[in-house]
Structure 1
Amino acid sequence: MAHIVTLNTPSREDWLSQLADVITSPDELLRLLDLEQHEALRAGREAKRLFALRVPRAFVARMEKGNPDDPLLKQTLTSQDEFITAPGYSTDPLEEQNSVVPGLLHKYRNRALLLVKGGCAVNCRYCFRRHFPYAENQGNKRNWQVALDYIAAHPELDEIIFSGGDPLMAKDHELDWLLTQLETIPHIKRLRIHSRLPIVIPARITDALVTRLEQSRLQVLLVNHINHANEIDSDFRAAMTRMRMAGVTLLNQSVLLRGVNDSAHVLADLSNALFDAGVMPYYLHVLDRVQGAAHFMVTDEEARKIMRELLTLVSGYMVPKLAREIGGEPSKTPLDLQLRQQ
């Protein structure tokens, strides 16, 4: 059985040091972007009590100084709009807080979702798990073993999804242990990793991680979470090249966010930037109705209009599927673009 080699390489130390030095103060973030005098932005500082602010400095470096409407800033800066209690929004929009065992969600017949780690390198203000009880679903070997026992006892499962939080918050040796256990379960064929870490801290894609994924008998897919072309830089592209060379299938899913990417031309730029990096656009999600994020909502009618225009701007294979998740449903629900009605 293949095992990861834990190396004290500069890249490994770099991602951990970057993780330890994230920005947690709205005031510091605004100061770094020369926006400390912007009253409307400063007014949202107290929203950190609802959901902590966390932004890696490598991600901040891609934000435009002096621009209060920077799309990366809007995804990460606290806002007074988070205090609005919106009707139809809840703390558990996808009905996920009843796991089959701690940290394991078996929502779909052939696949289960393992909450590997509760923390994230970046706290996105639209996060649908911003209220999730991670304390009751701790990512540790004891809970992982219980989850693995459940997976082994359910032969209808052929795909495991590593999620969180962010599963790549786990260290390489922890991921090696999990992967090794999964590889002993014969009915598991695929491992899908959903992560925002490769885009916010590209150094997380270490040599050891790439090698271990390449050695696995499982088909490995990495689903990046990227919402705007400005997030993509040369470090990310280099990391994706290494993953692709290791045989990892690279996908992306985005969330349609008001003021961030609610434009066909912005989404076309994103699809082109992703494809240039070797990543296929996969899903574009309508916002999950989580309390505190209503100000990001784009209506279904607006979303359809944007997608119909996007179809005219890029090749079909670069158009993500527009979908939403509905709690209790057996799969994601595609949104009909109503093309024949136009």
Structure 2
Amino acid sequence: MQSDSLARSAVLPKPRWQQALRQAFRDPAELLAFLGLPPEPRAAPALFPMRVPRRFARRMEYGNRHDPLLLQVLPESGEMEAQPGFCDDPVGDRDSRQTRGVLHKYHGRVLLVATGACAVHCRYCFRQAFPYQQERASADRWQPAVDYVAANGDIEEVILSGGDPLMLPTVQLRRLSDSLAPVGHLRRLRIHSRLPVVLPERIDDRLCRWLAELPWPAVMVIHANHPNEFDSSVDAALSRLRRAGVQVLNQAVLLAGINDQAATLAGLMRRSFAAGALPYYLHQLDRVTGAARFEVEDRRAVALVETLRRELSGYLVPRLVRERAGVPYKTPIL
């Protein structure tokens, strides 16, 4: 009987989101051709190759080499050349490590690196050089992380991050939450994910059922940087999350040439709220190697947020912050 069960499970179709993920663009020339653009000499770093889901690529403007979604994901030649002030670990992740897959920077909450995988490889990612093979707390490796949380009574919130934790199958996420459920001092579960935006198929019935059945309130912090990242499929995914009882927030990164115009930022905040995600943080760039082209000066960042304050309702204005290595909170810039 067991062999029959294994045989049946072996032929079950993969969830739609996994099928969509397999079709993601991995070759810059193929993505450029899809957008009607000529090939360019470029090579994505071997440790951080290009990856772009097709649904996300379809939101890019055909024939526009400067499309703000394309600029976030297309490798640039020479992007890994050393730049003064930029490094592989700009936010001090490695110094905050407590045990395998556990980063403890801030009082009352702890971050679990659930996986190193992402559906999209954003070129400004501050963890692109993170040693995931040694540190991720997934599958059979997360018991030390659970033990750490259980042993520290001041931890009331667990943050699942990565990579992107929603790259894990829902059965693994449920296994992790089940292992944390006996920890009496936990009050919330937070999930940081870009998948509701770049691969909204991931927000399926099985995932929403898991979220609805969690023993704590759930918070989903999505990541969208430009209003064009939203479409009807993202709206539907966020609606499903809200129906499952999840509080949805959006955090963005201020990126030169992508969203560093007041009208663009205002459009992002309005569109995010309309989709059901409350604007949360606007991050200044983490100065990771390869991301110098995205940096916006603090003076300009402050001016942009001051404009948002004049034009938007207070609840639509995100907090402008920077993460500094060794500082036990996000540093407000304004």
Same fold (TM over 0.5): yes
- Amino acid in the other structure paired with 2:84: P
CA–CA separation in structure 1 for the residues paired with 2:180 and 2:272: 30
What is the CA-CA distance between 1:84 and the residue it aligns to? 3.2
Q: In structure 2, what is the equivalent of residue 3 of structure 1?
A: none
CA–CA separation in structure 1 for the residues paired with 2:239 and 2:136: 32
Q: 1:71 to 1:9 in 2, by over 3 A?
A: farther
Q: In structure 1, what is the equivalent of residue 4 of structure 2?
A: none
What secondary structure sits across from 1:291 in the alignment?
coil
What is the CA-CA distance between 1:153 and the residue it aligns to? 0.5
Aligned pairs for 1:89-104 within 5 A? 89-98=86-95, 99-104=97-102
Q: In structure 2, what is the equivalent of residue 339 of structure 1?
A: none
- Amino acid in the other structure paired with 1:290: V
Unpaired runs of at least 5, structure 2:
1-8
What is the CA-CA distance between 1:209 and the residue it aligns to? 1.0
What is the CA-CA distance between 1:142 and the residue it aligns to? 2.9
Q: Deviations over 1:174-205 (max 9, x none)?
A: 01101111221110110000000110010100
What secondary structure sits across from 1:307 in the alignment?
helix
- Amino acid in the other structure paired with 2:158: I
- Amino acid in the other structure paired with 2:35: L
CA–CA separation in structure 2 for the residues paired with 1:46 and 1:204: 29
CA–CA separation in structure 2 for the residues paired with 1:302 and 1:74: 20
Q: 1:121 aligns with which of 98, 119, 122?
A: 119
CA contact (8 A) 1:72 1:228 kept: yes
Q: Deviations over 1:288-336 (max 9, x none)?
A: 0101101100010010111111112211110000000000101000112
Structure 2 residue 17 is the aligned partner of structure 1 residue 46: no
Aligned pairs for 1:16-31 within 5 A? 16-31=18-33
CA–CA separation in structure 2 for the residues paired with 1:35 and 1:150: 50
Q: In structure 1, what is the equivalent of residue 15 of structure 2?
A: 13
CA–CA separation in structure 1 for the residues paired with 2:174 and 2:44: 37
What secondary structure sits across from 2:180 in the alignment?
helix
Number of residue pairs aligned between Structure 1 and Structure 2 = 324
Deviates most, 123-132 or 13-22:
13-22
CA contact (8 A) 2:137 2:145 kept: no
CA–CA separation in structure 2 for the residues paired with 1:83 and 1:101: 29
- Amino acid in the other structure paired with 2:18: L
What is the CA-CA distance between 1:48 and the residue it aligns to? 3.4
Structure 2 residue 66 is the aligned partner of structure 1 residue 64: no
CA–CA separation in structure 2 for the residues paired with 1:96 and 1:62: 33
Q: In structure 2, what is the equivalent of residue 34 of structure 1?
A: 36
Aligned pairs for 1:192-271 within 5 A? 192-271=190-269
Unpaired runs of at least 5, structure 1:
1-5, 337-342
RMSD, aligned CA = 1.6
What is the CA-CA distance between 1:9 and the residue it aligns to? 9.9
What secondary structure sits across from 1:303 in the alignment?
helix
- Amino acid in the other structure paired with 2:276: G
Q: In structure 2, what is the equivalent of residue 152 of structure 1?
A: 150
What is the CA-CA distance between 1:81 and the residue it aligns to? 4.7
TM-score by length of 1: 0.92
CA–CA separation in structure 2 for the residues paired with 1:318 and 1:120: 28
CA contact (8 A) 1:118 1:139 kept: no
CA–CA separation in structure 1 for the residues paired with 2:276 and 2:55: 21
CA–CA separation in structure 1 for the residues paired with 2:85 and 2:79: 15
Structure 2 residue 84 is the aligned partner of structure 1 residue 87: yes
- Amino acid in the other structure paired with 1:328: G
CA–CA separation in structure 2 for the residues paired with 1:79 and 1:50: 15
Q: In structure 2, what is the equivalent of residue 78 of structure 1?
A: 75
CA contact (8 A) 1:81 1:295 kept: no
CA–CA separation in structure 2 for the residues paired with 1:51 and 1:283: 25
TM-score by length of 2: 0.94
CA–CA separation in structure 2 for the residues paired with 1:83 and 1:164: 22
What secondary structure sits across from 1:284 in the alignment?
strand
CA–CA separation in structure 1 for the residues paired with 2:89 and 2:272: 30
Query: 4+ residue stretches of structure 1 with deviation over 6 A?
Result: none
Q: In structure 1, what is the equivalent of residue 5 of structure 2?
A: none
